[in-house]
Each structure stands twice: as structure tokens, then as C-alpha cells.
Amino acid sequence: MTEPVIELAGLGKHYGDRVAVDGVTFSVPAGRIVGLVGPNGAGKTTTLRAIAGIHAPSAGTVRVAGHDVVREPVQAKRRLALVPDEPALFSSLTVWEHLEFTARIYGVREWRGPAAALLEELELAERRDSLADELSRGMRQKVAVACALLHEPAALLFDEPLTGLDPRGIRTLYDTIRRRAAEGAAVILSSHLLGQIEGLCTGFAVMRQGRLLFAGTHDELRERYADAGGSLEEVFFHLTEGDAAPRAAAAAP
């Protein structure tokens, strides 16, 4: 088994009396694409933000590329990238200036060549000099992805990345995610569009009400819940609307 790039051990996050994430444990090795799925309020976004170091865990630990996100926040954050569901771009900066700003933040010295290649890969080259406010929702999403990839992170986190993308944009993003996984990145992808991510992901982590119900490979999910039907959507409804018990611990999906 490849050493995990992303490790969650008993992750908990509380907001006062409300439990958003409750004892989540799973890991993601290099080269894997894990779909983090669950209904609204399951704790998916909170989990991703805890991995990214935005929300400090109330319990448990999170490690990225061997670095504890609480004890070694700078080292951990240098090895990861989070693409949120709502891209936070600067209205007064062009697409190219966003990449330049990102390169400065992460200390990427030889960034112009990789930045230009990313614009070509994500079909943004013609909008290089466009201001963020001039871009569509889907183009803004792709700019956020380009910025996230510029420093070549070991861990990639995507929160509802398909929102606003047309079919061509979705295909382009899939190719980009597969390419980074093939190069050794560990990827977690949260999405409500279950049918569209099923063929992309090599494993799944299923959450409900802050607790982990399943974490494993695509084949393990199909085998374990074969009676629920053949598709991810059918298994999802079986798990999240039934009486499935959470798993105390989980191997790498």
C-alpha cells in the first residue's frame, strides 16, 4: 500500500452544541481520486476545510504529506490546494495576474511556462488578459483550478467543482484531475452530481450527519452493497436514507 498523502484520524468538528463532523477516519494515497459524497449537511465541506487547515479540528488529527495541519500548518498548506465551491477571485486582477499572485504566494520561481501551459490545458488562453469580473461562472472556476495547480500540490481538494461548467468544461476538468492523479497527487472530490463523478473516482467516502458510513474502493462499494443496485446513486440512497451504521475506521479508498 502506498503511503497516504491525506490522513484523517478521528476527525471531529463542533460548533457549540452542533456536531458537524464526528470521528471521521480515512486516508488517501498518492494517485487515488476519492469521491466524498453525502446529502446536504453531511459534513463534506467542513471535512475538506479541516483538511485544508481553514477549520481547526475539535478532535482528532489531519495530516497532509506527513505534516500535521495544526502543528505544521505552513508545511501542510504548501503541499495542498483547495478549490472551493465558490471561486474567490479578485475582481481587479486579470487571469494572468491571478497566476502571478499565486506564484508569489507559494514562492514558485519559474512559473510563467507552467502558467501558460495551464491556461492552454484549461482552455483559458484566450482569456489571459480578461478581468475576473468579465468571466462566466465556469471560467472563474477554471481560473481557480489553474491557480490551485500552479505549485504542484501533493493533495488536491475539490468542493463541488462541476458547478457552472458546461459539458466541454466538465470533460476538460476530468482530464486535468486524472492527469494530476497519474502524476501522483491524492485527490478528494466532493460533488452532488453522483452519476457524473462515478466513472472518475477510484474510491468513495460516504458521509451522513457528520459520520462516515463507508470508505473504500469503487469495487468494494459495489461488492458490499450489491443488493442496493448497480449505480453509485442507488448505493448512495441505500446508505444515506437507510439504517447503515457508520464505520469506526476505514482503509484508504
Q: Which residues contact 82 (CB under 8 A, 6 or more apart)?
A: 48, 49, 51, 52, 54, 148, 157, 159
Cell readout for 90 is 479578485
CATH number at residue 191: 3.40.50.300
What is the predicted pLDDT for the residue at 248?
39
What is the predicted pLDDT for the residue at 176?
97
Helices within the chain (DSSP H only)? 44-51, 73-78, 95-106, 112-121, 137-149, 167-182, 194-197, 218-224, 232-241
Residue 131 per-residue DSSP state: B
Instruction: Tell me which of 222 and 183 has the higher pLDDT.
Output: 183
- SS3 label, residue 240: helix
Last residue of a domain, one of 137, 152, 167: 152
Would you place residue 220 in the very low, low, confident or very high pLDDT band (cuts 50, 70, 90)?
confident
pTM, 2 dp? 0.91
Strand order, beta sheet including 203-208: 80-83, 155-159, 186-190, 33-37, 203-208, 211-217
Closest CA to 78 of 92, 64, 94: 64
Phi and psi torsions of 13, nearest 5°: -140, 120
Residue linked to cell 474567490? 88
Q: Provide the residue range defining the domain that includes 195.
A: 1-79+154-253
Asked whether residue 60 falls in the same domain as residue 183, the answer is yes
Phi and psi torsions of 34, nearest 5°: -105, 125
Mean pLDDT across the stretch 219-246? 72
The amino acid occupying position 35 is G
Asked whether residue 191 falls in the same domain as residue 116, the answer is no
Last residue of a domain, one of 152, 184, 208: 152
Asked whether residue 74 falls in the same domain as residue 159, the answer is yes
Asked whether residue 50 falls in the same domain as residue 2, the answer is yes
Residue linked to cell 471531529? 12
Asked whether residue 113 falls in the same domain as residue 58, the answer is no
Last residue of a domain, one of 123, 152, 181: 152
Mean pLDDT across the stretch 5-9? 97
Number of domains, the chain? 2
Asked whether residue 159 falls in the same domain as residue 238, the answer is yes
Q: Can you name the residues that pair with 4 across neighbouring β-strands?
A: 29
Asked whether residue 168 falls in the same domain as residue 183, the answer is yes
Q: Is the pLDDT of residue 28 over 90?
A: yes
